[in-house]
Structure 1
Amino acid sequence: MNCCQCQGIEDFFSSRLAARELKHYRKKGPWKTTTMLIEALKREGLSGATLLDIGGGVGAIQHELLKASAGSATNVDASTAYLEGPGKRPSDRAWPTG
């Protein structure tokens, strides 16, 4: 997104920050509060569910819920670093290995 209203967002949520957050997610999984949200959503039942994640960042919630049987996920984010960064293509899944 290249518009003057989003300039502050692009500066703060930079590709460097996105890469750092993705590295953390791949190594340690979602942050504790994110994990709490994911677990609460899993308890509701996800089979085939459609997820809209607004401000989805590196996609931790999306990836975790897709692994837990959600049907599809869409990420909406104001920062191009998070929309176009590593982990967004199926071949680059950001899922942690552990």
Structure 2
Amino acid sequence: MEKAIEELLSLRHKNHFDHYYSRLKTHFKDDAFKYADILLKELAIRHTLSKKDSLELAVKYHQEEHYRKIIENLMYDGYIHYNTSQGVYLFNSPILKRWWEQFIC
């Protein structure tokens, strides 16, 4: 199973996932993009983010008024979800998370 995941994440298949990142660039602009970008990078590295963590990032990127809408968009577009039992945001797909960590972070 691990070998199959590594093959899927190889440079040869990188273009299959590139559209996730390019969609962010077209959907969000300026500081909203910077916030979405750093949120996903932090989520890839740390594996989870709390609501408090996401708000602290929003303040840093001047998105405290818009961060809920940005997160809702990321959820609606299939990047992330909120696990209510743990109280954290997670990537929807562990494969996408690993790709993000490998190629975007």
Flag whether TM exceeds 0.5 (same fold).
no
Higher relative contact order (CA 8 A, sep 6+): 1
TM-score range, shorter chain: 0.3 to 0.5
Query: What TM-score, normalized to structure 1?
Result: 0.34
